[in-house]
Structure 1
């Protein structure tokens, strides 16, 4: 007897469910897209137990007749395709015909639907892929689908689900995405205890942006719009394209970009605030993300990300959406053209809204005789600092993709005409400070970066630093017997505060300050969910906060030194980080991440003049820390230039 046999429909559906239904949010996505394809203008999503116990979606779409209601649960049954040629021009969100049978095979499902032409509706009940009941019922026009006990018959899948708050956070983020994509439709999201999102229909994407993100974020967004004929895609240079003020459907053969991009002042710690839709479909595409990263290169730090709400519209035959079962990935027929068009559109929008930032001059020429190239490299700004241009030999700068010349005989290359900073650096001296030398005391050893070489000076040497002044009110210049030191005042204070917060947290001696008036912080729906998950840890770090309405947090007390906008930004960072990391982080990781965020936002900033007493205090406290070489986020605190390196630079050795 042969070994190969055909699987039963039930097993095949459960295998398909493993591809389509990754988590409760996957169910919401498939059903939400079906509602939109059905022409619904009002969609209500109800969730219990993070989607494990219940997912109910109610819409006012066209509904289904009895025969269609039954046929919809057969594999590969769809109303959106007829022939294989239709795959080349898909204009609907759903089309594969796998979602409903796959979901029904791993849950207890009930469907209530009625088409406008029918006097009565149809109710269908299914458990584990088996139809239990079909009957007529008096129902309004539209469809209601309830999914209960998700993965009840596949415990191996169920145990891999995350906590209720995590799963609810994913659902909230998904519904928020589609509310942004469909501003003229009404969306609601309700958990068992509260309304997480109520977004009535508005006229356009700009009003929806204001509705979801609030006045402050909306005020930092720049509208962008452009279109181009695909027929010009083969030209060697980016052809001219025109901007449109009013929205119009794209002409055949045209690609259109519209939406909003953030000003450089608005930055995020992750990509979660990049919302991209292709022909109304939510996607996560590496090509698009890379094009946006390139558009913001040298405008924001490389570790930060913008806020983007971008709509791409193009002929369906120019994009293949049938490359992933969950339909979250797409493939463009002319990838390089789409990439460059997005990059140049966003970059030009930013340049028109605000002058390009100045770049530090690139190092050029061979090192002086007797001087090491590593020394020359170390005097340049650290990666990510404002004013630094980070180029690659094959990269490009500015609109029009101007190439940067290569240098095959050296690691360094430069621009022909480097742009100088707006004003030269200056030293702010408090008074004349004598420079003396004292023998170093033995102490524990820690690595400090010095001219590209890892050395091991003693921790005691930091306590002997004598300040000379500040460079641009941002970096402390100090000396001791080991040489010249440059200390980043912000990250130095950040390290001091981080270790202080960790000590006080462990001994339960956290110092908090009560606010005269509670600070009200507006959050997105999924951020409210993640706040509930870390509320206890925040309380142990000095916070007293509670929900004040469905999407507002009232902060009554905060750690000492954290006030105003920095308090709001700290909470935003912590909640954004939780959304990204909570799936894998343990209690200690979460505790350290929150402490690092508190320290970062409470620390002194760059461009802040400091009195000499404050500088001396910073240097003394830095010498007492356990790890004074980097901040909690990994940025270096101090650069040391030894006497030997200085002598070599002046050709004295």
Structure 2
């Protein structure tokens, strides 16, 4: 073996740069985060040739003193932490003290800064790690950093970079993410001398809304729910997309922890479970969510590029996220627009556990005849359908129903049935179309779940206990969570260091593969500290029962039956989607209908 020797400082810095600086977007991320930590209210990012030729970030933050400039570009030098206690409670975006030194090692680097209140600015340049003396310069209060010819002295790294358009797309996505993290800061992004993005600082809720719409698309705010929830020292806020607005890929998911965008398996798992009952297979939800907690409760010193975090109370965070999102999505009902809609905004909003709450469901006019669908709703259609029922039959409805839009239910009143599949209804805004089987399937499914919760869970004793070989971690999870599993009807006991014995299973799952069920539950318990797999298995069975017990396509319904179905949809949780995530209804407003027929043109 060769002798052990210390690496040259230039090589050390280039190795560190390989961990921190993956591509031009990594440079932009570190520089903009430094600007945010410096208290900037405006940040300008100028890019040339996708960042290969030039990356310039200018801010109006606090600036750096002339004597501090050499330290600013030195490795492991920072103003953000001073002790291990500071590292345990990191509240700033940056804290490692490696970013500027790493950039300076693989580029032609220059930093110009002027402290707030100072009349002089100073500049320091570093060329491939070789530092030049500090000299006076002209600059407004704040800091500018220029990174030219990235990786010019590391040609192997430069070869792995993509085309100019691709690299700039990464930078654009990054700036969007940072703009969402700090809506109170103005951002400007330019490429090759042309402006690309310009966001003013958001001074109120409406301006914040505009920035969210600018990043995720104009249609997102109108298809999202506003979340505000706090419990156990955690606070969650932001927007979650309605299931009907799900996307084919996970490109509209922004999750921030104390202002830092992160990717985390605990978060991903909680979100997936919250949407499990309403999302079509293969689709991905869209969301912008901000989680705030004590900095001591999250370890941000996990990944060199700070992409990942580790929660100290993973189960608490997981359960809080799941419960908050699950409750919000459960309150969505077909045709229902939650209260607390912002002024001059068309977005659905819902305050979960906050001061604002969804408007209570109204009781719409009813008649004495009971629907034959056994939906528990008694009503007659409005007299507006005299053409279908005859004027004499419509008269009683006219007497009890006012003609104002406020007295029309969200899904309106049925007009007719199309091909034995769709219900056509008229509401205050226009035409409503309902997939009657999908809608009745959701109603039946929710009733079955409620019945299960009301009567409790029964378990089925296995004639012969099943012994399974599992990992030591899974065996420990089975022992730790034995009581909660028993509440779901799954009775386990530890048979040894790496084995468990299954004695009972939920009665609803009689005939299920005991080994597969148990291993799936224990795998989630071992990884996340909690599991909803038993509930998901039972829900899958109830969904099958609901599907077979719902009104089938091709069945002709009377108007009272159709209206009964509409009223139950308005009162049932998650009724906007069937059990498989398909939409149950859609609406065509008068403006859309007028466009179809070119009215007013």
Sort the TM-score into its range (normalised by shorter chain).
Answer: 0.5 to 0.7
**2:224 — aligned with what?**
221
Task: Structure 1 unaligned segments of length 5 or more: list them.
Answer: 230-253, 357-384, 391-396, 430-563, 566-653
Deviation at 1:207, TM superposition (A): 3.8
Structure 2 residue 34 is the aligned partner of structure 1 residue 26: no
**1:320 — aligned with what?**
299
Deviation at 1:355, TM superposition (A): 6.2
1:599-637 Cα offsets, whole Å, 9 max, x none, are: xxxxxxxxxxxxxxxxxxxxxxxxxxxxxxxxxxxxxxx
Are the counterparts in 2 of residues 17 and 105 from structure 1 also a CA contact under 8 Å? yes
1:171-190 Cα offsets, whole Å, 9 max, x none, are: 10010011111111101111
Q: 1:425 aligns with which of 538, 545, 552?
A: 552
Question: Separation in 2 of the partners of 1:211 and 1:43?
Answer: 18
**1:349 — aligned with what?**
328
**2:43 — aligned with what?**
43
The 3-state SS of whatever aligns with 2:171 is helix
1:486-527 Cα offsets, whole Å, 9 max, x none, are: xxxxxxxxxxxxxxxxxxxxxxxxxxxxxxxxxxxxxxxxxx
Q: Matches of residues 265-280 of structure 1 in structure 2 within 5 Å? A: 265-280=244-259
Are the counterparts in 2 of residues 126 and 133 from structure 1 also a CA contact under 8 Å? no
**2:215 — aligned with what?**
212
**1:79 — aligned with what?**
79
Change in CA separation of 1:423 and 1:194 when aligned onto 2, cut-off 3 Å? farther
Change in CA separation of 1:217 and 1:2 when aligned onto 2, cut-off 3 Å? closer
Question: Separation in 2 of the partners of 1:284 and 1:106?
Answer: 27
Q: Matches of residues 303-314 of structure 1 in structure 2 within 5 Å? A: 303-314=282-293
**2:512 — aligned with what?**
410
Deviation at 1:134, TM superposition (A): 2.4
Are the counterparts in 1 of residues 50 and 165 from structure 2 also a CA contact under 8 Å? yes
Deviation at 1:351, TM superposition (A): 1.1
1:141-197 Cα offsets, whole Å, 9 max, x none, are: 000011111000001111011111111111100100111111111011111153221
Question: Separation in 2 of the partners of 1:123 and 1:414?
Answer: 66
Question: Separation in 2 of the partners of 1:273 and 1:417?
Answer: 32
| Stretch moving more, 48-57 or 200-209 | 200-209
**2:529 — aligned with what?**
none
Are the counterparts in 2 of residues 35 and 59 from structure 1 also a CA contact under 8 Å? yes
Deviation at 1:428, TM superposition (A): 8.9
**2:315 — aligned with what?**
336
Question: Separation in 1 of the partners of 2:542 and 2:27?
Answer: 55
Change in CA separation of 1:108 and 1:269 when aligned onto 2, cut-off 3 Å? same
Question: Separation in 2 of the partners of 1:272 and 1:192?
Answer: 26
The 3-state SS of whatever aligns with 1:353 is coil
Q: 2:272 aligns with which of 273, 286, 293?
A: 293
The structure where helix makes up a greater share of residues is 2
1:1-27 Cα offsets, whole Å, 9 max, x none, are: 961111121111100000000111110
Are the counterparts in 2 of residues 121 and 136 from structure 1 also a CA contact under 8 Å? yes
Change in CA separation of 1:86 and 1:107 when aligned onto 2, cut-off 3 Å? same
Change in CA separation of 1:73 and 1:349 when aligned onto 2, cut-off 3 Å? same
Q: Matches of residues 561-600 of structure 1 in structure 2 within 5 Å? A: none
The 3-state SS of whatever aligns with 2:187 is strand
Structure 2 residue 239 is the aligned partner of structure 1 residue 260: yes
1:255-301 Cα offsets, whole Å, 9 max, x none, are: 10000000111011111211011000111112111211111112112
Are the counterparts in 2 of residues 255 and 314 from structure 1 also a CA contact under 8 Å? yes
**2:589 — aligned with what?**
none
Task: Structure 2 unaligned segments of length 5 or more: list them.
Answer: 336-437, 446-451, 454-483, 490-505, 515-536, 557-594, 597-601
Are the counterparts in 1 of residues 66 and 134 from structure 2 also a CA contact under 8 Å? no
- TM-score of the superposed pair, with normalisation by structure 2: 0.58
- TM-score of the superposed pair, with normalisation by structure 1: 0.54
Q: Matches of residues 167-182 of structure 1 in structure 2 within 5 Å? A: 167-182=167-182
The 3-state SS of whatever aligns with 2:331 is helix
Are the counterparts in 1 of residues 105 and 127 from structure 2 also a CA contact under 8 Å? yes
| Stretch moving more, 411-420 or 260-269 | 411-420
**1:462 — aligned with what?**
none
Question: Separation in 2 of the partners of 1:5 and 1:145?
Answer: 34
The 3-state SS of whatever aligns with 1:208 is helix
1:182-233 Cα offsets, whole Å, 9 max, x none, are: 111101111115322111111244342134344422111110011112xxxx
The 3-state SS of whatever aligns with 1:272 is coil
Are the counterparts in 2 of residues 264 and 299 from structure 1 also a CA contact under 8 Å? yes
Question: Separation in 1 of the partners of 2:4 and 2:291?
Answer: 45
1:452-479 Cα offsets, whole Å, 9 max, x none, are: xxxxxxxxxxxxxxxxxxxxxxxxxxxx
The 3-state SS of whatever aligns with 1:18 is helix
**1:486 — aligned with what?**
none
CA RMSD of aligned residues (A): 3.1
